Amino acid sequence: MQVSDIVVDTGQAQYPIRFVAGAAAAAAAVDRAAPRGRLIVISDSHVAPRYLQPLLDGLHALGRNARGLTFAAGEASKTIETVTRLWSEVFADAVDRNDTIVALGGGVAGDMAGFVAATTMRGIRFVQVPTTMLAMSDAAIGGKTGINVPAGKNLVGAFHQPAAVICWTDTLESLDRRELASGMAEVIKSAIIAGPSEVQRFREAATAAMERDHGALRVCAEIGARLKASLVSEDVLERGVRSYLNLGHTFGHAIEHASGYGAWTHGEAVAAGMVIAARYSVSRGHAQAPFVDEVRELCQLVGLPIEPPPMSLDEWLGPIFRDKKRVGESVKLILATGPGGVFGQPTSFEELRDWMARELATS
**Residue 172 and residue 174: Cα distance in Å, rounded?**
5
Q: Cα angle at 174 between 301 and 19, to 5 degrees?
A: 85
- Per annotation, catalytic residue among 18, 46, 144, 218: 144
- Per annotation, catalytic residue among 266, 279, 296, 325: 266
Is 234 a catalytic site residue? no
Is 148 a catalytic site residue? no
- Per annotation, catalytic residue among 46, 64, 78, 242: 242
Is 249 a catalytic site residue? yes
CB–CB of 120/90 below 8 Å? yes
Q: What count of Cα atoms within 13 Å lies in the side-chain half-sphere of residue 169?
A: 19
Return the biggest CA–CA distance within the chain: 63
Is 242 a catalytic site residue? yes
CB–CB of 224/137 below 8 Å? yes
**Residue 76 and residue 63: Cα distance in Å, rounded?**
36
Pairing relationship of beta strands 100-105 and 152-159 according to DSSP bridges: unpaired
Is 253 a catalytic site residue? yes
Is 122 a catalytic site residue? yes
| Cβ neighbours of residue 141 closer than 8 Å, sequence gap 6 or more | 8, 17, 128, 165, 225, 228, 229, 232
- Amino acid making up residue 242: R
- Per annotation, catalytic residue among 238, 256, 268, 315: 238
- Per annotation, catalytic residue among 18, 46, 186, 325: 186
- Per annotation, catalytic residue among 189, 246, 257, 315: 246
Is 246 a catalytic site residue? yes
**Residue 144 and residue 161: Cα distance in Å, rounded?**
7
Using alpha carbons, select from 278, 279, 254, 276 the residue that is nearest to residue 266. Answer: 254
**Residue 352 and residue 333: Cα distance in Å, rounded?**
10
Outline where DSSP puts E strands in the chain: 6-9, 14-20, 39-44, 66-71, 100-105, 125-130, 144-149, 152-159, 164-168, 326-327, 330-336, 342-348
Element (H, E) at 133: helix 133-134
- Per annotation, catalytic residue among 189, 253, 324, 325: 253
**Residue 141 and residue 192: Cα distance in Å, rounded?**
18
CB–CB of 275/309 below 8 Å? no
Beta bridge partners of 130: 105
- Per annotation, catalytic residue among 125, 228, 324, 325: 228
Which are the catalytic amino acids? 122, 144, 186, 228, 238, 242, 246, 249, 253, 266
